[in-house]
Amino acid sequence: MVVLAKPAALEQISLVRSPSVEDNFGAGLPVVDLAADGAAGEVVRACERFGFFKVVSHGVGEGVVGRLEAEAVRFFASPQAAKDAHGPASPFGYGSKRIGRNGDMGWLEYLLLAIDGASLSRSSPAPSSSLRDAANKYVGAMRGMARTVLEMVAEGLGVAPRGALADMVVGDGAASDQILRLNHYPPCPPLLQNLMPNCSPTGFGEHTDPQLISILHSNSTSGLQVALHHDADAGDHQWVTVPPDPASFLVIVGDSLQVMTNGRMRSVRHRVVANKLKSRVSMIYFGGPPLEQRIAPLRQLLVAGVGDGEEEEQSRYEEFTWGESHKENKLAIIYIIKKISAETLCSDLLA
Ligand SMILES: C=C1C[C@]23C[C@H]1CC[C@H]2[C@@]12CCC[C@@](C)(C(=O)O1)[C@H]2[C@@H]3C(=O)O
Ligand SMILES: O=C(O)CCC(=O)C(=O)O
Task: Give the per-residue pLDDT at 34.
Answer: 94
Residue 345 lies in a domain: no
Q: Determine contact, residues 91/112, Cβ cutoff 8 Å.
A: yes
Q: Which domain holds residue 193?
A: 23-296+319-338
Which mean pLDDT values do the consecutive 10-residue runs of the chain (351 residues) have? 37 74 68 95 96 94 97 97 95 91 86 96 91 98 98 97 97 91 91 77 90 98 87 68 96 96 94 92 98 95 80 88 75 38 36 36
Q: Of 223, 297, 292, which is closest to residue 260 (Cα–Cα)? A: 297
CA distance 102 to 206: 13
CA distance 119 to 135: 8
How far from the centroid of its chain's Cα atoms is residue 346's Cα? 25
Residue 72 lies in a domain: yes
CA distance 291 to 297: 17
Question: Is 110 near ligand 1, meaning CB less than 6 Å away?
Answer: no
Question: Is 124 near ligand 2, meaning CB less than 6 Å away?
Answer: no
15-17, strands of its sheet edge to edge: 15-17, 199-207, 270-273, 224-231, 236-241
Q: Report which bound ligand comes closest to the CA of 255.
A: 1
Residue 41, domain CATH: 2.60.120.330
135, containing H or E segment: helix 129-157
Between CA 77 and CA 81, with CA 79 as vertex, the angle to 5 degrees is 135
Q: Of 150, 188, 146, which is closest to residue 284 (Cα–Cα)? A: 146
Given the CA of residue 110, which atom of ligand 2 is nearest to it? 9
Task: Give the per-residue pLDDT at 221.
Answer: 97
Question: Is 100 near ligand 1, meaning CB less than 6 Å away?
Answer: yes
**pTM score of the predicted model:** 0.90
Task: Give the per-residue pLDDT at 127.
Answer: 96
Residue 91 lies in a domain: yes
Question: Is 285 near ligand 2, meaning CB less than 6 Å away?
Answer: no
Task: Give the per-residue pLDDT at 21.
Answer: 59
Task: Give the per-residue pLDDT at 329.
Answer: 58
CB half-sphere exposure, 284, CA atoms < 13 A: 23
Query: For the purposes of burial, counting CB atoms within 10 Å of the CB of 162, is it exposed (0-12), middle (13-18) or buried (19 or more)?
Result: middle
Given the CA of residue 224, which atom of ligand 2 is nearest to it? 3
Cα distances (angstroms) measured from residue 322 to each of 70, 175, 181, 283, 286: 33, 12, 19, 23, 14
Given the CA of residue 209, which atom of ligand 2 is nearest to it? 10
First to last CA, the chain: 11
Residue 167 DSSP symbol: H
Question: Is 183 near ligand 2, meaning CB less than 6 Å away?
Answer: yes
Residue 307 lies in a domain: no
Question: Is 202 near ligand 2, meaning CB less than 6 Å away?
Answer: no
Q: Of 5, 2, 9, 1, which is closest to residue 274 (Cα–Cα)? A: 9
The total number of structural domains that make up the chain: 1
Cα distances (angstroms) measured from residue 154 to each of 101, 208, 341: 33, 22, 40
Residue 5 lies in a domain: no
What is the whole-number distance in angstroms between the Cα of residue 312 and the centre of ligand 2? 37
Residue 220 lies in a domain: yes
* Number of residues assigned to the chain: 351
Residue 1 lies in a domain: no
Residue 305 lies in a domain: no
Task: Give the per-residue pLDDT at 332.
Answer: 43
pLDDT tens-digit series, residues 287-335: 999 999 999 999 999 988 777 777 888 999 888 899 988 765 555 434 3
Question: Is 67 near ligand 2, meaning CB less than 6 Å away?
Answer: no
